[in-house]
Amino acid sequence: MTRTADLALRHAETVNGGTLPGLVTCASGISPSGPIHLGNFRELITPHLVADEIKRRGIPCEHILSWDDFDRFRRVPKNLAGVDDSWERYIGMPLTSVPPPAGSPHASWADHFKAPLLEAMAATGIEVREISQTEQYRAGAYREPVLLAVRERTAIDKVLDQYRTLEAVEAARQKTTGKGKGGKGGGKAATLTEEQAAAATEAERGSGAALEDDGSEGKAGYFPYKPFCTVCGTDFTTVTAYDDDSHELTYDCTKCGHTETVDLDTFTNGKLVWKVDWPMRWAHEHVMFEPSGVDHQSPGSSFVVGKDLAPIFGWERPVGPMYAFVGIAGMAKMSSSKGGVPIPNDALEVMEAPVLRWIYARRRPNQSFDVAFGPELQRLYDEWDALGRKVADGTAQSGDLAAHLRATSTATATLPATPRPMPFRTIASVIDVTQGDEDQAVRILSDLDPDNPVESTDDLRPRLDCAERWMLGYVPAEDRTVVRTAPDTELLGSLDEQQRDSLRLLVDGLDDHWSLDGLTHLVYGVPKIQRGIDPEAKVKDPELSAAQRAFFALVYRLLVSKDTGPRLPTLLLAVGADRVRTLLGV
Ligand SMILES: [Zn+2]
């Protein structure tokens, strides 16, 4: 992010004639057409982190979030299609004019999908100035650039035409290959592999942008502006005539048959086509940094075309890296009730806010990664805690230190942290074994370190809640731990003298070792004692290791009827000394 911020500042100086402008503007643009998932979150958090880095340097900077809520409702989502065909009638209307899904407390389709992201932003310290495209267009804020685009439609058409055929795209691609476009990964558009290009085309098709009329389907020649029909509210309209002197525009609606002549000096119920709308807004908002997904940077796509269109509006295309896809790990096993693509709020159910920031902040934007919802989540917390210890004792590398700072704070605030960050996997194991009985879980967690007991459960939050939601909501039943209710008499009856001896040594030591540390020493020590080795001695001996593994497996089988489980000291604490004695038959 340091280098990306450097790049944004250099560009800001260039467009401002050599000195930094009074305000550096970084932008995000998001369409609230459906759930805004963890991949879309990168569109938001990348400019946030860059703007934040610039602010930390004491340079005035603003992060704007343009809501593309004046976009058309493109299609009925799969879960509604065929179930409720009445949604078909909204296709072609602005997202702000479509009602929300059934049961939603929000005013519109757009508001319904904006709300969870706004919550996630508040939780993760992301501050923006929101701009609603519906409000902007309807208020006439873009009147001048709309008239300009219409006046310059021949020039716009000429630019777009260069990209319309595949041959032209290929020619432009050859010409720009190897020429840096600025930004890490910014030049990637020119060097996409065939596979990436196919994925990009697929993604753009998915977002609808590739299919959107670029203005060339009009009956009055190329026209970059599309009115929504006054009668039916959709954009199934065709401009049939335009008078450059009076600004009178006539359109036909192919959906309801309405024909109307409006005056573009006063009419506000329409918008520029997407490929023209985006560069217009760069100019209107003076955007200097805006990243985009691979879908917008493929040859002939909006970011590429925008380079040539922005100057028509008197601006330069902002710099911004292409950000890579974000995948999801561990969802295959997720409980079916969660269904669908996870959104940032789903991640915040199981991740502390700084951890969620960290998984984005520690990667370069052009690196793809997976957000973990499966067992990998425990390793993620281990890594996070290890980094925290390095930061605390001053041994963290500078890059890691910067990522930690960006994760735990912003230029203006420190994010809430868990005061007593016990290992996530330990808390999860305790919750697993106690079946979600929180009082019991807290008692056991207090036993982990008797010299430093847990004073208040508040000290364990939010991590305790994250671990609880993860264990109870995301870990599949077959991976949960079920402690036996009665001793396994058959197994106990088959043990040899050496095995029985090991269990006796363990049980006899329980009371004196009743803490996480103590029990760790005890369980590793029992096989040592049996072999005549000092339990405190550090020994590397393959035979001893094998004996320890066999001993652990025996204890697991007797306690939970499996060969493995939560770490043994944690499991013993969670099961409780009395029940351990009963199940081990000693
Ligand atoms: Zn109509």
Across the beta sheet with 237-242, what order do the strands follow?
237-242, 248-253, 259-263
User: pLDDT class for 212, splitting at 50, 70, 90?
Assistant: low
Ligand 1 centroid – CA 203 distance (Å): 30
Distance 230 CA to ligand 1 centre (A): 7
**pLDDT at site 73:** 96
User: Which three-class secondary structure state does DSSP give residue 454?
Assistant: coil
Tell me the CA–centroid distance for residue 229 and ligand 1, in Å: 5
CA of 232 to the centre of ligand 1 (A): 4
Ligand 1 center to 367 CA (angstroms): 45
Cα(227) to ligand 1 centroid in Å equals 10
- Residue 301: phi and psi, rounded to 5, are -85, 180
**Cα(356) to centroid(ligand 1), Å:** 45
Q: How far apart are CA 189 and CA 177, in angstroms?
A: 9
Question: What spacing in Å lies between the alpha carbon of 231 and ligand 1's midpoint?
Answer: 5
pLDDT value at residue 77: 81
Tell how far the Cα of 244 is from the centroid of ligand 1, in angstroms: 24
pLDDT value at position 332? 56
CA 259–ligand 1 middle distance (angstroms) = 8
Distance 19 CA to ligand 1 centre (A): 50
Ion ligand 1: residues, CB < 5 A:
229, 231-232, 253, 255-256, 258
What residues contact residue 62 under an 8 Å CB cut-off, 6+ apart? 23, 24, 25, 26, 51, 129
Q: How many residues are there in the chain?
A: 586
Residue 274 Cα to ligand 1 midpoint, Å, equals 21
What's the mean pLDDT in 124-149? Answer: 98
Summary count for the chain: helices (H), strands (E): 24, 12
Which pLDDT band, with edges at 50, 70 and 90, does 198 fall under?
very low
User: What is the rounded CA–CA span in Å between residue 308 and residue 504?
Assistant: 80
Structure tokens at 350: 């199981």
DSSP 131-160: EEHHHHHHTTTTHHHHHHHHHTHHHHHHHH
Interval between CA 197 and ligand 1 midpoint (Å): 37
Indicate the burial class of 1 (C-beta count within 10 angstroms; 0-12, 13-18, 19 or more): buried
Instruction: State what percent of residues in the chain have pLDDT above 90.
Output: 73
Query: How much is the average pLDDT of 50-61?
Result: 98
When pLDDT is cut at 50, 70 and 90, the band that residue 253 belongs to is: very high
- Distance (Å, rounded) from C-alpha 149 to C-alpha 145? 6
CA 253–ligand 1 middle distance (angstroms):
5
The angle subtended at Cα 533 by Cα 527 and Cα 536, nearest 5°, is: 90
What does the pLDDT read at residue 176? 62
* Ligand 1: centre distance to CA 185 (Å): 43
pLDDT tens digits for range 177-197 = 543 333 333 333 333 444 444
Average pLDDT in the chain: 89
User: How much of the chain exceeds pLDDT 70, in percent?
Assistant: 89
pLDDT band at 209 (very low <50, low <70, confident <90, very high): low
**Cβ-Cβ contacts under 8 Å for 251 (sequence gap 6 or more):** 227, 229, 237, 238, 239, 240, 259, 260, 262
43 alpha carbon – ligand 1 mean position (Å)? 34
Å from CA of 145 to ligand 1 middle: 25
Under 8 Å between Cβ of 559 and 585: no
C-alpha 151 – ligand 1 centre gap (Å): 25
**Residues 138, 273: contact at Cβ < 8 Å?**
no
Ligand 1 midpoint to CA 67 (Å): 25
Measured between alpha carbons, how far apart are the two ends of the chain, in Å? 59
Whether 65 and 128 have beta carbons less than 8 Å apart is answered as: yes
Q: Are strands 292-293 and 322-323 parallel, antiparallel or unpaired?
A: parallel
Residue 67 in 3-state DSSP? strand
> Which pLDDT value is given to residue 181?
33
Please give the distance, rounded to the nearest whole angstrom, from the Cα atom of residue 237 to the centre of ligand 1: 7
Cβ contact 313:282 at 8 Å: yes
Residues 410-467 have pLDDT tens digits of 999 999 999 999 999 999 999 999 887 888 888 889 888 888 888 888 999 999 999 9
- Distance from Cα 287 to the centre of ligand 1, integer Å: 35
- Amino acid occupying residue 114: K
Cα–Cα distance for residue pair 347/38, rounded to 1 Å: 8
Tens-place pLDDT, residues 65-117: 999 999 999 988 877 766 777 899 999 999 999 999 989 999 999 999 999 99
CA–centroid distance, residue 239 to ligand 1 (Å): 13
What separation in Å is there between the alpha carbon of 211 and the centre of ligand 1?
21
DSSP string of 43-64, one letter each residue: HHHHHHHHHHHHHHTT--EEEE
Torsion of CA 31, 33, 37, 43, to 10 degrees: -10
- pTM for this model (two decimals): 0.87
Which of 576, 382, 564 has its CA nearest to residue 480?
564
Residue 236 CA, ligand 1 centroid: distance in Å: 7
What is the Å distance from ligand 1's center to 81 Cα?
23
| Distance of CA 150 from the midpoint of ligand 1 (Å) | 22
CB atoms near residue 563 (< 10 Å):
11
Using one digit for the tens of pLDDT, what is the confidence trace for 364-401? 988 999 999 999 999 999 999 999 999 999 999 999 99
Tokens of residue 322, six digits? 């292409």
Taking the centre of ligand 1 as the mean of its atom positions, its distance from the CA of residue 108, in whole angstroms, is 20
Distance of alpha carbon 23 from alpha carbon 147, whole angstroms:
27
Ligand 1 centroid – CA 228 distance (Å): 8
Contacts of 434 (CB under 8 A, 6+ apart): 440, 441, 444, 574
pLDDT at 206: 43
